[in-house]
Structures are given as structure tokens and as C-alpha cells.
Homo-oligomer: A and B are copies of this chain.
Amino acid sequence: MESTSTAIIGLGTVGSGVAQVLLAHADRIAHRAGRQIELRRVIVRDLEKSRDFQLPRDLISSDIDTVVNDPSIPVVIQLIGGLEPARTIMLRLLESGKDVVTANKALLAEHGSELFDRARDVGRSIAFEASVGGGIPIITAIGQSLSANRIESLYGILNGTSNYIMTRMTEEGIGYEQALAEAQQRGYAESDPTLDVDGSDAAQKLAILAQLAYGARPSWQSIPRTGIEQLSTDDLQYTDQMGYRIKLLAIAQLLDDGLEMHVSPTLVRRGQPLAEVRNSENAVSVVSDVAGRIFFQGRGAGQMPTASAVVADLIDTVVGRSHLTFKQMGLGTSRQGPLKMKSPSEHSGRYYLRMSVVDEPGVMAEVAGILGTHQVSINSIIQRESAAVGTSHHIPLIIMTHKTTEGSLDTALAQLDKSENVLPSFVRMRVLD
């Protein structure tokens, strides 16, 4: 049986998982690839670091040139996180004639255009199934299985850390800080969880999906995003009683007048598949014009699900499929022409609003009047009893709006903010149609 050599750059969580799969399941992988895949080299930063699992010592090196300059290694698994030196290493690998498999979503979201263009120029491929959704084959679905379709919208739960925290808050009634601490304890959240909980990680993944689905090249920083840090158990409970779950949704929608993208906590009606995605699971709902809606759910992160995607990409690259897919994918090309990105103020949707108002006659009419003046039409109002009876003459007021624009809502809320009868802290969240 023929053999192809590969190397892993970066032996962190995912890299260790990939090495374990390649070594433990070599026969299975040879069967699927039609040839042996030999792990020839593993590049680590620190040769002395102790590791959970043992690799043959002669595989390990800290010198990346032993991979770059080895022409007998045609495909490399690049698993260093962050932007640099990952970007430079990717470019060096491509330019030395190697196909690359990667799971680095931050790198692709930030420098994807440059890397894809360079790969195309030098006739190599980049495979990146593992960069979004872990074990869920969403990149293959969009890039290959839905090739007859125009993707009309993507709705994703793309950050497992946030979803875990929100699930615990909803189901256990605990606060954000406690749920975060629990997530950190279980290894679902890093010691600095900022990029996970502020929506950045989800925005990076959404940018990759949008590039694939629409040929859009948005900077992921330009995607409006709201995180879950301010989420209160009050809202989780109110919305639960109303039949909704709150999920951190990453949404891209192709509309007549442009592409709308954002990441924010969003109310999803219970019973809808996205609403039922619990704990650290990820999910993507894809609506396209020929196939209709397709829903994917699975373990979106973690060592082994991500390793599964990496090894599938490796096999695809070794058998030649990645080359064909990458060539046709249109990534980094402008064949479809640029898409207009809708400005955030034009984004439209239904909203959940919660505010504290003075418990007096006429206040409800004032609030409704101000909203109405700014084209924010009310679908339903729920007036709650005060959480702290007797200590305040303010009561919580919950409003579900009809469809409106973000801009109209901004203006209306700014106006409400001036009212003496409304406390200045509003909660606003999108509601999935």
C-alpha cells in the first residue's frame, strides 16, 4: 500500500487529539484514504514540556524547518492558534508546496483572504472543516452539499462556552458569574473567557461561513455583536415563561438589499431545534432556496470532535478531494462580485424589551406612544409585579415588538431614556422570526 507523510504543527489540545487518532486508528484511516498516512513529524514549542500522552521521541522537534524543508511531507496539519506566528507559518508551508489543514478560525477570519489567495496562487489547498462547529460537517455542507443552492440564511449556535453558561443559568437559575466559574472548572471556558462570551469567537466563525456561502469578505470585527456577559437570570426566566429560550445566535441573512450579519443573545421559541440545543453543543440551521431548511447539531468544540474534522480534512487532502473543492469554492475570489453589507441600523427584526417603569396610570400609554412614534409597533406587553414589592414604585415592563429596524429601535429607546417614568437601564434582545 502506498503511503503519504504528514506533520502536525502545534501539540495543544487539538493537536494531541489528532496525533492520537492518527496513531491509534492508522488501519482505519489507511482503509478510508486508500493509502497509509504516516505521521512523520510533530512540531512543538517546548521539547521539555510534559504531556498527557506519549509520542515516539523521534517524531518530535521544535524546528519547523524540518517540516518546511522536507519535500517528502506534502500535507501539513497546522494547529497553532492565534494570528502570529500562525499566519507566517501558513504562508511558508503553502509556498514550500504543501497543502494545509487547519482548525484556526481566528486566523482564517482575520487573514483568510490573504491565505486563500496565496494558496490559489501557488496551487495548494487549505482545508478548514475544523475551524467552525467542531465535529459538525458544516463547511462541507455549505461548500459542497448545498452547491445547487443559494444560501438564504444561516443561524448558528457557534460558541459552546456561551451556550453552556446560558443553559446552566436557565436550568439552574444561577447567575452569570457562577455559571462561568462552573464552565471554567469543567474546562468549557478558558481562564480569560472574553472572546467566547463577548461574541467574538462566534463572529469569527460566522465570517468564515459567510465567506463560504456568499463569497462575502467581511472583516469579522465589522459584524455587530453583543455578548452574554450582561444576561440576567430575570430575562432567562421571563422569556422561559413566555415559551422562549435565549441563545447566542450568529446570523447571516441574504436580503434583497444586502447581507445582514450579527451575533447576539436571541429569543428562540421552544420546540424549534435551535432552542433545544443544550450545554456546550453547537448547531447551525441553514436555509437555502432549493433544499429548504437543514439543521445540524453536534459537539462544536473539544479535542476529539475537532480532531475528527481535522483528520477528515487530512484524508480529503490526501485523496485529492480538497484540491477540487478548494479550487471550485470561489473562496477569496470575486467571481460573484462583492455583496453589499447592510449597515447595523438597517438590520431588522422583532425585539424583546424589558424596562423598569413607574407604576402609575398613563405610563404604559407614554411608553407605547413613544415606541409608536418611531415605527416600533407593539405585539404584546406583559406587566410584571415588582420583584421587590414595597421597596420601589417601579415595575418591570416587558414588550415584544413587531418587526422593526435596529435604527428605529435605537431612536425610540433614546427617546424613552429621557422620560422620567422610565429607568435608564433597558434590556433589548432580538427575537427569531
Contact = CB atoms under 8 A, between A and B. Distances in A.
A311 interface: yes
A238 interface: no
A301 to B, nearest CB: 11
Interface in A305-320: 305, 307-309, 311-312, 315-316, 319-320
B294 A296 contact: yes
B148 A290 contact: no
A295 B305 CA distance: 13
A interface bracket (residues with beta carbon within 8 Å of B): 35 or more
Contacts of A296: 294-296
Nearest to A303: B290
A299 B304 contact: no
A291 interface: yes
Interface in A1-37: 21, 25, 28-29, 31-34
A316 B144 contact: yes
A305 to B, nearest CB: 5
A341 interface: no
Given A140-B140, A293-B299, A150 B28 contact: yes
A148 B307 contact: yes
Given A148-B21, A294-B297, A295-B297, A319 B308 contact: no
B291 A135 contact: yes
Contacts of A327: 34, 319
Nearest to A33: B328
A149 interface: yes
Given A316-B144, A324-B320, A290 B276 contact: no
Nearest to A297: B295
A327 B34 CA distance: 8
Contact of A299 (B25, B137, B291): B291
Interface in A64-113: none
Contacts of A31: 330, 335-336
Contact of A294 (B29, B271, B273, B298): B298
A319 B328 contact: yes
B321 A292 contact: no
Contacts of A343: none
Contact of A308 (B21, B29, B288): B288
Contacts of A308: 146, 148-149, 288, 290-291
A279 interface: no
A291 B304 CA distance: 6
A136 interface: yes
A304 B294 CA distance: 13
Interface of A: 21, 25, 28-29, 31-34, 129, 134-137, 140-141, 144-150, 271, 273, 276, 288, 290-299, 304-305, 307-309, 311-312, 315-316, 319-321, 324-325, 327-328, 330, 335-336
8 contacts: A25-B148, A25-B290, A137-B146, A140-B140, A144-B321, A146-B312, A147-B312, A291-B299
Given A31-B336, A319-B328, A324-B324, 4 more contacts: A145-B312, A292-B305, A294-B298, A320-B324
Those 4 A-B pairs whose CB atoms lie nearest each other, nearest first: A137-B145, A135-B291, A148-B311, A291-B308
